Amino acid sequence: MTKTLSKSDALYAQMRDDILSLNLAPDGPLRLPAMAERYGVGVTPIRECLNRLSTEKLVAIAHNKGFRVAGISFSELLDLEQSRSAIEGTLFQRSVERGDDAWEARVIGAFHQLSKTPAMSVTGTQSDIDLWNRRHTAFHAALISAADASWLQHFQRQLADQLGRYQLFIQTGLRDLFESHPDKAPAVADVYSKAMATGPHEDLYEVVLSRDAVRARSVFEQHVNLSICAFQELGTSIPGGTIVATTLQTQIQKAHP
């Protein structure tokens, strides 16, 4: 039987999805009257919902300035990826140690689906990108599904949602380059595609098949580091003046003056 959400929970779920899907732009103002009109509710439930979302760091509250969608920055992206390495890496190691045949079958099925999916490319159709994102998420979920660690799983889901917003932001920004900088866009897009290719995921898959718990943590760290390196390279190769370049390059320049 499907559980019916309360009005407040339904509003929270809708607003949360709008933030994660970029329908509410990063760092955009969330003025109470405008939000109340947008969602067809009163100001009070909007304020309660925004306060709730602020505890997940999806909404920021500034003194005397009200609410804003949480911004996006390279420094936070690094923090999220490093946190992911620690938490999801631990879950992966525990799954390799404890996983049974049913867990292995889930991983095999998810990897098969991912390997049959058209390679991630921002030059593809939006439906192809959405399919890859779903199957990529499903593969990583299968990898850690035998960990039996509810709090770590909870934190991992929060990190995954935050990183999903970043991935969507970068994918959208790279797609926009093909209109604003068609001469430079293919090389930049290739940097992202290589990091998201099936190959790097094969290393995780092989750890599962071999049940090599000793290597599990280090292989997962290498997987995350590949993404970090790709983001760093993007920050130095994306043409200036674009939104995604402003986000990534500013922080890289601060970290490496």
Within the chain, how many helices (H) and strands (E) appear?
11, 2
Asked which of 55-59, 165-169, 200-204, 244-248 is least confident by mean pLDDT, the reply is 244-248
151 and 194 together in one domain: yes
55 and 93 together in one domain: no
In Å, how far from its chain's centre is CA 34?
28
84 and 54 together in one domain: no
Query: 23 lies in a domain?
Result: yes
The sign of the torsion formed by the CA atoms of 16, 32, 64, 68 equals positive
43 and 119 together in one domain: no
CATH number at residue 134: 1.20.120.530
Query: 184 lies in a domain?
Result: yes
Facing residues of 29 across strands?
68
In Å, how far from its chain's centre is CA 86?
16
88 and 120 together in one domain: yes
Banded pLDDT at 246 (limits 50, 70, 90): low
d(CA 173, CA 237): 13
Query: 2 lies in a domain?
Result: no
Total structural domains in the chain?
Answer: 2
48 and 98 together in one domain: no
33 and 147 together in one domain: no
- Residue 165: CB partners within 8 Å, gap ≥ 6? 19, 20, 22, 26, 72
Helix 126-143 and helix 74-98: axis angle, to 10°?
A: 50
175 and 245 together in one domain: yes
Query: 1 lies in a domain?
Result: no
d(CA 92, CA 141): 10
Q: Single out the residue in 28, 49, 69 at which a domain terminates.
A: 69
Q: Which residue has the higher pLDDT, 62 or 108?
A: 108
97 and 187 together in one domain: yes
158 and 39 together in one domain: no
CATH number at residue 41: 1.10.10.10
Closest CA to 109 of 205, 4, 7, 242: 205
Is 80 exceeded by the pLDDT of residue 25? yes
Which phi and psi angles does 70 have, rounded to 5°?
A: -55, 135
Query: By the 8 A CB rule, do 143 and 114 touch?
Result: no
111 and 60 together in one domain: no
119 and 231 together in one domain: yes
DSSP state of 238: S
pLDDT value of position 256: 40
pLDDT value of position 187: 85
| Residues 104-163: tens digit of each pLDDT | 999 999 999 999 998 888 888 889 889 999 999 999 999 999 999 999 999 999 999 999
Is 60 exceeded by the pLDDT of residue 250? no
Reported residue count of the chain is 257
d(CA 154, CA 53): 16
Q: Single out the residue in 52, 69, 86 at which a domain terminates.
A: 69
Q: Which domain holds residue 65?
A: 7-69
The sign of the torsion formed by the CA atoms of 48, 52, 57, 62 equals positive
Closest CA to 223 of 198, 245, 246: 198
